[in-house]
Amino acid sequence: MSRAKICGTGSCLPAGRVTNQDLTKWVDTSDEWITTRTGIKTRHVAVKGEETSRLAADAARQALKMTGMQAEDLNIIIVATITPDMTMPSCACLVQQELGALNAFAFDVNAACSGFVYGLDVAEKYINSNPCLNILVIGAETLSGRTNWKDRNTCVLFGDGAGACILTGEESGRGIVASKLYSDGRLFNLLKMAGAPSMNAELARDDHDGSYIKMAGRDVFKYAVRCMEKAVAAVLTNAAVDIEEIKLLIPHQANIRILKSLADHLGIDYEKIYINLQKYGNTSAASIPIALDEANREGRLVKNDLLLLCCFGGGFTWGAMVLRW
């Protein structure tokens, strides 16, 4: 049976970094508070020329280089993002133009921090129907542009970056084994980022109060742990895999305490969780593919090892995926 296998990865972080110490100049906070509550030490912040599509294209170039493919070999480009350069065209179309991937069709996926896993799931369905396809899936964000740098409740959490991978069909049993995705729109108000207000006064929402990220931190925390735990249990059942067989868990990198709590609930060895949020903060849809690329380049992903991804984000959206590397 053919499976959708990741054959190349890449990532790109903007050059500029903001430390916890830097943040103390703008808001009433401290390195100690941020470190103990979140685990985050620094985050990368983009400047002109490092728009979401540019970061995404750079990550894609690295993934292409790893596979030896040319941009023209790509059939589909999927970009998971909540911070595209423009509302229209999609970020994926801008990436297509940057790469010169003229044989592909391109579109964005918006599932907030779960977007990359949603994108992988969509790619898998295409590959199931045609294993010859080469599909580029990217998670890319510039959340710095949607962060209220005067709000200490949120500005310490987020960062910019992009990660990419290329999937194609493979007969060996390696690739995506199972995935389970969820959403619950009833909870949309607990984590949200409004766009520009409608210019049609009839349609303008009465609750529009700026386009920054807003969240109910404690509620998000509780749902994130509970939902990811359930998604992991369900996907392991579907894949007929025990948690002990998982060699590495690459979760969405939101907060160290969420990950510790998740590890306790799942009964998974903490050492088996890949964590890089101390360097990048929460990069939303980019967090899993950046971690995946780092783990890959560090040699942490061994051929045929079972790998688990899990995610949670605005919507709420959440899910989990098992892959044989």
Which of residues 313 and 319 has its CB atom nearest to ligand ACO in the complex? 313
Which of residues 168 and 282 has its CB atom nearest to ligand ACO in the complex? 282
Angle between helices 287-297 and 115-129 (to 10 degrees): 70
Q: Tell me which H or E stretch contains 250.
A: strand 246-251
CA distance 212 to 151: 10
Instruction: By CB under 6 A, tell whether 282 contacts ligand ACO.
Output: yes
The total of other beta-carbon atoms located within 10 Å of residue 276's CB is 15
Region 69-108 residues binding ligand ACO, contact defined as CB under 6 A? none
CA distance 213 to 217: 11
Whether 12 is catalytic: no
In the set 91, 134, 155, 252, the catalytic residue is 252
In the set 110, 134, 282, 296, the catalytic residue is 282
Token output for 99: 């790469």
Instruction: By CB under 6 A, tell whether 275 contacts ligand ACO.
Output: no
In this structure, the strands spanning 246-251 and 213-215 are: unpaired
In this structure, the strands spanning 213-215 and 191-193 are: antiparallel
Taking CB under 6 A as the binding criterion, the range among 43-51, 116-124, 192-200, 248-256 that sits at the site for ligand ACO is 248-256
Whether 75 is catalytic: no
**Minimum Å distance from CB 249 to ligand ACO?**
15
CB 8 within 8 A of CB 126: no
CA distance 134 to 148: 38
Whether 103 is catalytic: no
Which of residues 27 and 306 has its CB atom nearest to ligand ACO in the complex? 27
Which of 37, 226, 272, 297 touches ligand ACO by CB under 6 A?
A: 37
Instruction: By CB under 6 A, tell whether 254 contacts ligand ACO.
Output: yes
**Minimum Å distance from CB 217 to ligand ACO?**
3
Instruction: By CB under 6 A, tell whether 303 contacts ligand ACO.
Output: no
**Minimum Å distance from CB 27 to ligand ACO?**
6
Region 122-141 residues binding ligand ACO, contact defined as CB under 6 A? none
Region 194-223 residues binding ligand ACO, contact defined as CB under 6 A? 215, 217-218, 220-221
**Minimum Å distance from CB 207 to ligand ACO?**
20
Of 73, 77, 179, nearest to 135 by C-alpha is 77
- Which backbone phi and psi does 86 adopt, to 5 degrees? -140, 160
Question: How many chain residues touch ligand ACO (CB under 6 A)?
Answer: 23
**Which amino acid does the sequence have at 27?**
V
**Minimum Å distance from CB 260 to ligand ACO?**
11
How would you label 116-154 residue by residue, b for 16+ Cβ within 10 Å and e otherwise?
bbbbbbbbbebbeeebebbbbbbbbbbbbebbeeeebeb
Instruction: By CB under 6 A, tell whether 182 contacts ligand ACO.
Output: no
CB 265 within 8 A of CB 229: yes
Residue numbers at the binding site for ligand ACO (CB under 6 A): 29, 33-34, 37-38, 113, 152-153, 156-157, 191, 215, 217-218, 220-221, 224, 252, 254-255, 282, 312-313
Active site residues: 113, 252, 282
